[in-house]
Amino acid sequence: MPEVAIDEAIKVLIQDRSVMGMVSANREVYDLLKNGALVSFMNDKREQIREQIRFIDWNNIDNNDFFLVSQFWVSGDMYARRADRVGFINGIPLVSIELKASHRNLKKAYNENLRDYKSTIPQVFWFNGLIVLSNGSKSRVGTTSAEWEHFSEWKKINCEG
């Protein structure tokens, strides 16, 4: 794959989507992650080629790079925030994990942190596919557009803990 094609695909993926709103941007990026980006480039024979570039290999998981960052700082237009954990696949921030102390009410991770992040660093949620909120004893999982009541309890094996 020519480097120019990859560069064009990356430009499509990381373009500014702030005027779209977070949920619309998330849906657009989801489509790009699922189906890839159609890009045009010139090959060695000076022919115009159109090709679908995929960002994630959904068929062979071993072809992807996985990285989990602890205490990940993100700068927004006016504020910087530190997310507890951000999981990346091929450099794309797909998973957000917000952790609270075990004695803290889990809903505070949603009300105090996640809501703040959505308003101050919304660009992270353009790419996000999964949000995990946990206080160590209870965990909930949801998506970018989910309200608290739509975050599902993280089920444990054999109802442990």
pTM, rounded to two decimals: 0.87
Look up the domain containing 7 and give its range: 3-55
Which residues are CB-contacts of 81 (< 8 A; sequence separation ≥ 6)? 73, 74, 116, 117, 120, 121
- Say yes or no to pLDDT of 12 above 90: yes
CA distances for 66 relative to 6, 59, 87, 88, angstroms:
19, 15, 7, 6
Q: Say if residue 121 is in the same domain as residue 140.
A: yes
Question: Percent of the chain, pLDDT > 90?
Answer: 80
**Tally of domains within the chain:** 2
Q: Distance between CA atoms of 13 and 5, rounded to whole angstroms? A: 13
Which pLDDT value is given to residue 94?
Answer: 96
Token digits for 23? 């949920």
Q: In which region does residue 100 sit, left (phi positive, over 0), alpha (psi from -120 to 50) or beta (all else)?
A: beta
Query: Is the pLDDT confidence value at 161 over 60?
Result: no
Q: Which of 19, 36, 55 is the last residue of a domain?
A: 55
CATH number at residue 83: 3.90.1570.50
Asked whether residue 35 falls in the same domain as residue 73, the answer is no
Q: Residue 73: helix, strand or coil by DSSP?
A: strand
Residue 24: both structure tokens together: 């619309």
Whether residue 44 has pLDDT greater than 90: no
134-150 pLDDT per residue, tens? 999 899 999 999 999 99
Average pLDDT over residues 99-103: 93
128 CB-contact burial (10 Å; exposed 0-12 / middle 13-18 / buried 19+): buried
